[in-house]
Amino acid sequence: MTSPLPVGVLVSGSGTNLQAIIDQQEAGLLSAEIKVVISNVKDAYAVKRAVNHGIEVKYISHKDFVSREAFDAELTNVLESYGVQLVVLAGFMRLLSTEFVSHWSFRLINIHPSLLPAFPGLNAQKQAFDHGVKITGCSVFFVDEGMDTGPIIIQASVPVMSDDTPELLASRILQEEHRILPIAIQWIANQSIRVEGRRVYTPDDPQ
Protein backbone atom coordinates (compact mmCIF):
# COMPACT_ATOMS: atom_id res chain seq x y z
CA MET A 1 0.00 0.00 0.00
CA THR A 2 1.35 3.45 -0.88
CA SER A 3 1.63 5.99 1.92
CA PRO A 4 -1.02 8.71 2.12
CA LEU A 5 -0.36 12.03 0.40
CA PRO A 6 0.82 14.55 3.03
CA VAL A 7 -1.53 17.54 2.97
CA GLY A 8 -1.37 20.99 4.54
CA VAL A 9 -4.60 22.97 4.91
CA LEU A 10 -4.64 26.78 5.11
CA VAL A 11 -7.66 28.34 6.82
CA SER A 12 -8.96 31.69 8.06
CA GLY A 13 -12.55 31.00 9.08
CA SER A 14 -15.07 28.49 10.31
CA GLY A 15 -13.36 25.53 8.66
CA THR A 16 -16.36 23.54 7.47
CA ASN A 17 -14.39 22.52 4.38
CA LEU A 18 -11.52 21.47 6.64
CA GLN A 19 -14.07 19.40 8.59
CA ALA A 20 -15.23 17.72 5.37
CA ILE A 21 -11.66 16.64 4.63
CA ILE A 22 -11.14 15.44 8.22
CA ASP A 23 -14.39 13.42 8.07
CA GLN A 24 -13.37 11.68 4.85
CA GLN A 25 -9.92 11.01 6.25
CA GLU A 26 -11.31 9.55 9.47
CA ALA A 27 -13.75 7.41 7.49
CA GLY A 28 -10.75 5.91 5.69
CA LEU A 29 -11.94 7.26 2.36
CA LEU A 30 -8.96 9.48 1.59
CA SER A 31 -5.51 8.41 0.38
CA ALA A 32 -4.24 11.59 1.98
CA GLU A 33 -3.42 12.74 5.49
CA ILE A 34 -3.60 16.24 6.92
CA LYS A 35 -0.17 16.87 8.45
CA VAL A 36 -0.73 20.46 9.51
CA VAL A 37 -3.40 23.14 9.52
CA ILE A 38 -2.19 26.72 9.32
CA SER A 39 -4.46 29.61 10.29
CA ASN A 40 -3.69 33.29 9.85
CA VAL A 41 -6.60 34.10 12.18
CA LYS A 42 -6.01 33.25 15.82
CA ASP A 43 -9.55 32.48 16.97
CA ALA A 44 -10.76 30.92 13.72
CA TYR A 45 -13.14 28.06 14.50
CA ALA A 46 -11.14 25.97 12.01
CA VAL A 47 -8.33 25.91 14.58
CA LYS A 48 -10.63 24.32 17.13
CA ARG A 49 -11.75 21.70 14.64
CA ALA A 50 -8.14 20.69 13.97
CA VAL A 51 -7.31 20.53 17.68
CA ASN A 52 -10.45 18.46 18.34
CA HIS A 53 -9.19 15.90 15.86
CA GLY A 54 -5.61 15.82 17.10
CA ILE A 55 -4.21 17.56 14.04
CA GLU A 56 -1.20 19.85 14.40
CA VAL A 57 -2.13 23.52 14.07
CA LYS A 58 0.07 26.54 13.54
CA TYR A 59 -1.14 30.10 13.92
CA ILE A 60 0.91 32.41 11.75
CA SER A 61 -0.17 36.03 11.69
CA HIS A 62 0.60 37.98 8.55
CA LYS A 63 0.83 41.01 10.83
CA ASP A 64 4.14 39.68 12.18
CA PHE A 65 5.84 39.91 8.79
CA VAL A 66 7.19 42.89 6.90
CA SER A 67 5.84 41.77 3.54
CA ARG A 68 3.50 39.32 1.86
CA GLU A 69 6.57 37.50 0.50
CA ALA A 70 8.06 37.10 3.99
CA PHE A 71 4.77 35.75 5.38
CA ASP A 72 4.40 33.35 2.47
CA ALA A 73 8.01 32.16 2.86
CA GLU A 74 7.20 31.23 6.44
CA LEU A 75 4.12 29.35 5.25
CA THR A 76 6.33 27.35 2.89
CA ASN A 77 8.89 26.70 5.66
CA VAL A 78 6.24 25.31 7.97
CA LEU A 79 4.51 23.28 5.24
CA GLU A 80 7.81 21.76 4.14
CA SER A 81 8.82 21.00 7.73
CA TYR A 82 5.75 18.73 7.81
CA GLY A 83 6.63 17.14 4.47
CA VAL A 84 3.51 18.55 2.82
CA GLN A 85 3.11 17.73 -0.87
CA LEU A 86 -0.34 19.21 -1.46
CA VAL A 87 -1.55 22.54 -0.06
CA VAL A 88 -5.32 23.00 0.22
CA LEU A 89 -6.75 26.49 0.64
CA ALA A 90 -9.98 25.93 2.56
CA GLY A 91 -11.41 29.38 3.20
CA PHE A 92 -7.96 30.98 3.41
CA MET A 93 -8.79 34.63 2.84
CA ARG A 94 -5.42 36.04 1.86
CA LEU A 95 -3.85 36.60 -1.50
CA LEU A 96 -0.66 34.60 -1.99
CA SER A 97 2.51 35.93 -3.61
CA THR A 98 3.62 34.79 -7.06
CA GLU A 99 6.66 33.21 -5.37
CA PHE A 100 4.43 31.03 -3.20
CA VAL A 101 2.16 30.12 -6.09
CA SER A 102 5.01 29.15 -8.41
CA HIS A 103 6.79 27.21 -5.66
CA TRP A 104 3.65 25.12 -5.10
CA SER A 105 2.61 25.02 -8.75
CA PHE A 106 0.08 22.19 -9.33
CA ARG A 107 0.48 21.26 -5.64
CA LEU A 108 -1.86 24.07 -4.51
CA ILE A 109 -5.66 23.94 -4.77
CA ASN A 110 -8.45 26.25 -3.73
CA ILE A 111 -12.21 25.98 -3.31
CA HIS A 112 -14.36 28.86 -4.49
CA PRO A 113 -18.14 29.32 -4.06
CA SER A 114 -19.08 30.01 -7.69
CA LEU A 115 -18.94 28.36 -11.08
CA LEU A 116 -15.67 29.90 -12.19
CA PRO A 117 -14.77 31.88 -14.22
CA ALA A 118 -17.97 33.62 -13.10
CA PHE A 119 -17.84 35.65 -9.89
CA PRO A 120 -14.21 35.45 -8.75
CA GLY A 121 -13.09 37.28 -5.61
CA LEU A 122 -14.98 38.03 -2.44
CA ASN A 123 -18.66 37.30 -1.70
CA ALA A 124 -19.08 35.12 -4.78
CA GLN A 125 -22.44 33.78 -3.62
CA LYS A 126 -23.88 37.29 -3.24
CA GLN A 127 -22.34 38.36 -6.55
CA ALA A 128 -24.18 35.48 -8.25
CA PHE A 129 -27.42 36.20 -6.39
CA ASP A 130 -27.30 39.91 -7.23
CA HIS A 131 -26.52 39.17 -10.86
CA GLY A 132 -29.67 37.08 -11.06
CA VAL A 133 -28.15 33.87 -12.39
CA LYS A 134 -30.34 30.77 -12.34
CA ILE A 135 -27.50 28.38 -11.64
CA THR A 136 -24.36 28.89 -9.61
CA GLY A 137 -22.19 26.48 -7.63
CA CYS A 138 -18.62 25.89 -6.59
CA SER A 139 -15.26 25.05 -8.12
CA VAL A 140 -12.02 23.44 -7.01
CA PHE A 141 -9.02 24.55 -9.04
CA PHE A 142 -5.25 24.61 -9.17
CA VAL A 143 -4.12 28.03 -8.02
CA ASP A 144 -2.20 30.12 -10.53
CA GLU A 145 -1.02 33.74 -10.40
CA GLY A 146 -4.47 35.17 -11.16
CA MET A 147 -7.45 35.72 -8.91
CA ASP A 148 -9.42 32.44 -9.04
CA THR A 149 -8.24 31.81 -12.60
CA GLY A 150 -6.36 28.48 -12.42
CA PRO A 151 -7.23 25.20 -14.18
CA ILE A 152 -10.52 23.81 -12.88
CA ILE A 153 -10.49 20.30 -11.37
CA ILE A 154 -14.15 19.80 -10.40
CA GLN A 155 -17.32 21.88 -10.21
CA ALA A 156 -20.81 21.36 -8.82
CA SER A 157 -23.89 23.31 -9.81
CA VAL A 158 -26.50 24.69 -7.43
CA PRO A 159 -29.82 26.16 -8.64
CA VAL A 160 -30.96 29.54 -7.39
CA MET A 161 -34.49 29.21 -5.94
CA SER A 162 -37.23 31.78 -6.40
CA ASP A 163 -37.41 32.40 -2.64
CA ASP A 164 -33.64 32.33 -2.09
CA THR A 165 -31.56 34.71 -0.05
CA PRO A 166 -27.78 35.07 -0.44
CA GLU A 167 -27.39 33.27 2.90
CA LEU A 168 -29.60 30.30 1.97
CA LEU A 169 -27.87 30.03 -1.38
CA ALA A 170 -24.44 30.15 0.28
CA SER A 171 -25.38 27.35 2.66
CA ARG A 172 -26.53 25.09 -0.21
CA ILE A 173 -23.34 25.86 -2.14
CA LEU A 174 -21.34 25.00 0.98
CA GLN A 175 -22.91 21.52 1.07
CA GLU A 176 -21.60 20.94 -2.44
CA GLU A 177 -18.18 22.35 -1.50
CA HIS A 178 -17.95 19.72 1.22
CA ARG A 179 -18.66 17.01 -1.35
CA ILE A 180 -16.31 18.08 -4.13
CA LEU A 181 -13.22 19.23 -2.21
CA PRO A 182 -12.41 15.74 -0.83
CA ILE A 183 -13.04 14.28 -4.30
CA ALA A 184 -10.42 16.61 -5.81
CA ILE A 185 -7.94 15.72 -3.06
CA GLN A 186 -8.56 12.02 -3.60
CA TRP A 187 -8.00 12.32 -7.36
CA ILE A 188 -4.69 14.12 -6.76
CA ALA A 189 -3.65 11.58 -4.12
CA ASN A 190 -4.47 8.74 -6.53
CA GLN A 191 -2.77 10.47 -9.42
CA SER A 192 -5.92 9.94 -11.42
CA ILE A 193 -5.99 13.36 -13.06
CA ARG A 194 -3.91 14.69 -15.92
CA VAL A 195 -3.37 18.35 -16.79
CA GLU A 196 -2.89 19.60 -20.34
CA GLY A 197 -2.75 23.37 -20.52
CA ARG A 198 -5.89 24.66 -18.83
CA ARG A 199 -7.71 21.36 -19.15
CA VAL A 200 -7.74 18.94 -16.22
CA TYR A 201 -8.80 15.42 -17.23
CA THR A 202 -10.52 13.56 -14.40
CA PRO A 203 -12.25 10.20 -13.85
CA ASP A 204 -15.57 12.13 -13.85
CA ASP A 205 -15.29 13.51 -17.35
CA PRO A 206 -18.06 12.18 -19.60
CA GLN A 207 -16.66 9.89 -22.31
- Only one of the segments 32-40, 66-74, 107-115, 182-190 lies at the binding site for ligand GAR (rule: CB under 6 A); that segment is 107-115
Give the x-and-dash track for 13-52 against ligand GAR (CB under 6 A): xxxxx----------------------------x------
Strand 57-59, strand 152-159: pairing? unpaired
Told to check if 113 binds ligand GAR by CB under 6 A, we report yes
Q: How far is the CB of 107 from ligand GAR (least distance, A)?
A: 18
Rounded distance between C-alpha atoms, residue 192 and residue 201, angstroms: 8
Alpha helices in 82-190 (DSSP H): 98-103, 124-131, 166-190
Respond yes or no: is residue 178 known to be catalytic.
no
Q: What is the CA radius of gyration of the chain?
A: 17
Give the x-and-dash track for 119-158 against ligand GAR (CB under 6 A): -----x----------------------------------
Q: Which is nearer to ligand GAR, 84 or 148 (CB)?
A: 148
Kindly identify the residues of this chain, within the stretch 78-97, that bind ligand GAR according to CB under 6 A.
90-91
Which residue out of 53, 103, 112, 131 is catalytically annotated? 112
Q: Which is nearer to ligand GAR, 83 or 146 (CB)?
A: 146
Rounded distance between C-alpha atoms, residue 28 and residue 163, angstroms: 38
Long-range Cβ contacts of 22-31 (<8 Å, 24+ apart): 22/49, 22/50, 22/53, 22/55, 24/182, 24/185, 24/186, 26/53, 29/182, 29/186, 30/4, 30/182, 30/185, 30/186, 30/189, 31/2, 31/4, 31/5, 31/186, 31/189, 31/190
Q: Which is nearer to ligand GAR, 51 or 192 (CB)?
A: 51
Q: Which residues bind ligand GAR (CB under 6 A)?
A: 13-17, 46, 90-91, 111-113, 124, 174, 177
Residues with active-site annotation = 112
